[in-house]
Chains A and B, each alone.
Chain A
Amino acid sequence: MSDAVISFRNFGFQYYSQSEPTLFDINLEIRRGEKVLIAGPSGCGKSTIGHCINGLIPNRYRGTITGELIIDGINTKNASLFDLSHKVGTVLQDSDGQFIGLTVGEDIAFALENDNVPLAEMQKKVSAIAKLVNMENHVSNNPHDLSGGQKQRCSMAGVMVDDVPILLFDEPLANLDPATGRTAIELIDALADEGKTVIIIEHRIEDVLHRHVDRIILVDEGRIIADCTPDHLLAEDLLTKHGIREPLYLTACRYADCRITEDMHPSSLSGFDVSSCRERLISWHEKNRHPAEEQEKKLLLNVDHVKFSYDGVVPVLQDISLNVYEGEMLSIVGKNGGGKSTLASVITGFQQNDAGTVTCEGKDLSQFSVSERAEYVGIVLQNPNQMISKTLIFDEIAFGLRVRGIPEAEVEKRVLEVMKVCGLSEFRKWPISALSYGQKKRVTIASILVLNPKILILDEPTAGQDYRHYSEIMEFLQELNKNGQTIILITHDMHLMLEYTKRAVVLCDGRILADEKAYEVLCDLPLTEKANLKETSLFELAEKAGIRDPLSFVETFIEYDRRYRSNEA
């Protein structure tokens, strides 16, 4: 049998600034050559486990350790980061932060440079590793010319160049679009075949399970909840209970009242034995399907033949035409770098379109300044830290009104109103630094809502959030939408577009590829491939179960799921 390469023994950890430990009594062994997924909701301690393995704890983050952790024979209590860097290679979530070199080659060589490897040997190793991750044609490119997926592959190369036995991936899917994420999982799997021990920290279970993993370790509130094979874990109802999303095809089976057992191999759809579920799925579909009613729509925003280029040479938006109707919540999806954010910048007036017009309620928006436009279109940036400039929540929300010179009495009235809508009333006196990420996000949304924009645009509103926080943010946005707020979401999260937006606009290479119902987009294989999306597993399930109209099955699921969730809430 292979021996344990990582072993936690009665391990616990408490951060210096926390009043409670983050990890309690962890006992865990990972054997050489194993491929393990550590899953859990945000704040459960899974990243802390990762920090312990790569030595950031206790070398960079202060705190108290109880018990012990042995990595390949070294007790981490006395090991320096440098010692551990030869054992564990870490690929961080943010591939921009990890990309230190000015070019791909330099970045891959970074660890070798630190080890004083001579130039000739370094060049040999770098070109060999670059080939392994399919980056051999990009060695002299700089990071700003690379896609997110390429940057991540470069990060992988950068840790493998040191020939470490253990590879640790911290949320490798967080910043990738669905298709790129799938390629990343395939690449990680290929690396695992070379005898490395691979640890993946992720909460997107369905996407990670695209390839086989040996074990899933489920963590919540600092403790290990489950440590078993994926099939075993998925047969139980543990994931949802602990705030993690289970694969959608399993949710569908549960809605149809199917019993899922370990021997049905629920961990991957291709191996999943649906024979016992077929009857129930078909009858559930027949019982619940009903055509969605079309509502009358009033035009709010019109983007007409808009063209845009940053440098006048490379077109970023080519002839974009788009209508947004009042009270709608729609998503703009597509490849990273396909022009989604640029389109938002043009609508908000951050960038001037080269041709075409943008009108809102019949008024041409080009006549307004950026700040005047904010009364028509408000935008919430992805990272709340990029928007917050005040210490107190009230002041932050009031900022936009105060700089407009609105009398203080009215400012107070409007801010309190918005705080109530956004569920922030009880935090009125709190400093912003004490808020969680999701709450900060609410503050930034509130600070835009207070200006009463006709349309609210959100750039990746749920990026980096686990299922629980994702649902919290999205339910909140849905509530706003129900009260009549028109919302545009820019995203590459397929769940988000499927579950919360009826309509999806697919943007790819600066053109609109499709403008249709969200579920139709995700059931259209050629389209999803072009736009770097992924076909939804619901569609595949329906086909597998022999349902005659798989598209309608997906639609039924979405409708049912919406009702189910709103009853839960």
Chain B
Amino acid sequence: MKNASTRTIVATGLGAALFLVLFMFVKIPSPVPETNLQIAYGVSGFFAALFGPVCGFLIAFIGHALNDFIAYGSPWWSWIVASGVCALITGISKGAVASKVEEGIFGFDEIKMFVIFTLIGQAAAWIVVAPILDIVIYGEPASLVFAQGVTAFIVDFITAAVVGCLLLKAYASTKTGKGTLSKE
């Protein structure tokens, strides 16, 4: 964050606000009972791919923490950290995705990289980080937290990959290359 450009800092701040808005207001019940499709993870993925891991981490971390404060009065650290880790790992795809998208390209290679890092990120978050923290901090039984983790992983991975790709594609289509705009 020390050398981050102003644009990255602002993107982090507004990205977190957007993440929070979606986290609070958009809840689509998934086919699995008692779980929601969290569109917000698509948004943190979108920003992570464009602005990098630290930006992604902070968006998900700040957004999720504020959501917990508002909804429950207190943060649930295990899931908040997991959300952050997930966007952090997705952000590794920045090198392969960001500059291409800014030039208006989001093709197969970029999709592939984005989806792969989303997959790794979601897996690390929901199958490793969240359950382990739940066990360490809250003394939850392992069978319960891993079952919850795997469900969350499947649902969130699909949502994040689909929504993230759609957004990146749409954003890329608004970008133009060098010397391509001319007046009619």
The interface of chain A, by Cβ under 8 A from chain B, is: 16-20, 391, 431, 433
Contacts and interface: CB of A to CB of B under 8 A. Distances in A.
Given A17-B179, A18-B179, A431-B173, 18 more contacts: A16-B178, A16-B179, A17-B176, A17-B177, A17-B178, A17-B180, A17-B181, A18-B182, A19-B179, A19-B180, A19-B181, A19-B182, A20-B182, A20-B183, A391-B170, A391-B173, A433-B173, A433-B176
A485 to B, nearest CB: 28
Contacts of A17: 176-181
B3 interface: no
A433 B174 contact: yes
A51 to B, nearest CB: 16
A433 B176 CA distance: 9
Nearest to A433: B174
Contacts of A19: 179-182
Nearest to B175: A433
Contact of A18 (B170, B174, B181): B181
Nearest to A436: B184
A431 B178 CA distance: 18
A19 B174 CA distance: 17
A222 to B, nearest CB: 11
Contacts of A391: 170, 173
A18 B176 CA distance: 9
A47 B173 CA distance: 25
The main secondary structure of chain B at its interface with chain A is: loop
Tell me which of A16, A17, A391, A431 has the highest count of chain B C-beta atoms within 10 A of its own C-beta: A17
Nearest to A221: B183
Nearest to B174: A433
18 contacts: A17-B176, A17-B177, A17-B178, A17-B179, A17-B180, A17-B181, A18-B181, A18-B182, A19-B179, A19-B181, A19-B182, A20-B182, A20-B183, A391-B170, A391-B173, A431-B173, A433-B173, A433-B174
Nearest to A389: B170
A270 B176 CA distance: 49
B56 to A, nearest CB: 23
A358 B53 CA distance: 51
Interface in B156-184: 170, 173-174, 176-183
Contacts of B182: 18-20
A431 B173 CA distance: 8
Contacts of B183: 20
Nearest to B104: A433
A20 B181 CA distance: 8
What 8 pairs between A and B have smallest CB-CB spacing?
A: A433-B174, A19-B182, A19-B179, A17-B176, A18-B181, A391-B173, A17-B181, A16-B178
A17 B103 CA distance: 10
Nearest to B10: A100
A20 B176 CA distance: 15
B101 to A, nearest CB: 13
Contacts of B173: 391, 431, 433
Interface string B20-54: 00000000000000000000000000000000000
Contacts of B176: 17, 433
A431 B172 CA distance: 12
A159 to B, nearest CB: 17
Contacts of A431: 173
A18 B180 CA distance: 6
A431 B170 CA distance: 11
Nearest to A14: B179
A431 B182 CA distance: 15
A243 B174 CA distance: 28
Nearest to A385: B174
A101 B120 CA distance: 37
A17 B173 CA distance: 14
Nearest to A81: B6
Nearest to B176: A17
Contacts of A433: 173-174, 176
Nearest to B7: A60
A18 B179 CA distance: 4
A94 to B, nearest CB: 14
A370 to B, nearest CB: 16
A433 B177 CA distance: 13
Contacts of B179: 16-19
A17 B174 CA distance: 12
A17 B178 CA distance: 4
B44 to A, nearest CB: 20
A384 B178 CA distance: 25
A551 B45 CA distance: 61
A211 B157 CA distance: 60
A444 to B, nearest CB: 16
A152 B181 CA distance: 33
Contacts of B177: 17
Contacts of A16: 178-179
A532 to B, nearest CB: 31
A391 B180 CA distance: 18
A431 B180 CA distance: 14
A20 B177 CA distance: 14
Which has the most chain A C-beta neighbours within 10 Å: B170, B181, B182? B181
A482 B144 CA distance: 68
A433 B174 CA distance: 5
A431 B179 CA distance: 18
A16 B182 CA distance: 12
A16 B179 CA distance: 6
B178 to A, nearest CB: 6
B172 to A, nearest CB: 10
Nearest to B170: A391
A392 to B, nearest CB: 10
A391 B177 CA distance: 17
Contacts of B181: 17-19
A327 B173 CA distance: 39
Contacts of A20: 182-183
A20 B183 CA distance: 9
A398 to B, nearest CB: 17
B37 to A, nearest CB: 19
A97 to B, nearest CB: 10
A18 B177 CA distance: 9
Nearest to B173: A391
Nearest to A390: B170
A16 B176 CA distance: 10
B166 to A, nearest CB: 11
Nearest to B182: A19
B171 to A, nearest CB: 10
A431 B104 CA distance: 13
B169 to A, nearest CB: 9
B10 to A, nearest CB: 9
Nearest to B180: A17
A19 B177 CA distance: 10
A471 B59 CA distance: 43
Nearest to A100: B10
